[in-house]
Amino acid sequence: MLDIRLPIGLMFSVVGLIITIYGLATIGDVELYERSLNVNVNLISGLGTLAFGLIMLLLSEPVRKKLRKK
């Protein structure tokens, strides 16, 4: 059956990427980050989410199979 780590990995990679890009695009936006104590949480959280997604992808059966073949 489908390895759950594949959809989890894909989803968090996509979501992480979107938030990271948004974080990059809003660097220096003082008004936006005033509420988050002047921290660009989008950038940090986006990178974290992306990393989690990629790790899940690497651990998933279909990806591991492909890596083993290579």
Partner 1 sequence: MDTTFALRGIDYLIMAVYFLFVLGVGWALKKYMKNATAFLEAGRAMPAWVAGLAFISTNLGALEVMGMTGSGLKYGMLTTHFYWIGAIPAMIFLALFMMRFYYGSKARSVPEYLKLRYNEKTRALNAFLFALMTVLASGISMYALAILLENVLGWNFNVSLLASAAIVLAYTYLGGLSSAIYNEVLQFFIIIIGLLPMTILVMSDVGGWGGMQESLAPIVEGKGFAADTWTTTWKYTSSSATNPLGVEWFGILAGLGFVLSFGYWCTNFLIVQRAMAAESMTAARKVPLIGAIPKMFIPFLIIVPGIAALVLLNDPSKNFVLPLNAAGEPIYDYTIIMLLKQYLPAGVLGLGVTALLASFMSGMAGNVSAFNTVWTYDIYQSYIRPATDDHEADEKHYLKVGRITTIVGVLVSIAAAYIASKFGNIMDFLQTVFSMINAPLFAVIFLGMFWKRSTGNAAFIGLLMGFLVALAHHGLTQPEGATTLVKGGWIGVIHTYPVEMAQNFWTAIFAFSTAALLTVVISLLSRRDKTDSDLNGLVYSMTPKLDDSGVLWYQRPWFLALIVGIIMVVLSILFW
- Residue with Cβ nearer partner 1 (19 or 57): 19
Asked if 32 touches partner 1 (CB under 8 A), the answer is yes
Q: Are 4 and 23 in contact (CB under 8 A)?
A: no
- 39 is a contact residue toward partner 1 (CB under 8 A): yes
Q: Is residue 64 classed as helix, strand or coil in its secondary structure?
A: helix
Q: Determine the Cα–Cα distance for residues 5 and 16; give it in Å rounded to an integer.
A: 16
Between residues 2 and 67, which has the closer beta carbon with respect to partner 1?
A: 2
The torsion angles phi and psi of 32, rounded to 5 degrees, stand at -65, -40
Q: Does 63 bind partner 1 (CB under 8 A)?
A: no
Length of the chain: 70
Site residues (vs partner 1, CB under 8 A): 1-2, 4, 7-8, 10-12, 14-15, 18-19, 22-23, 26, 32-33, 35-37, 39, 41-42, 44-46, 48-49, 52
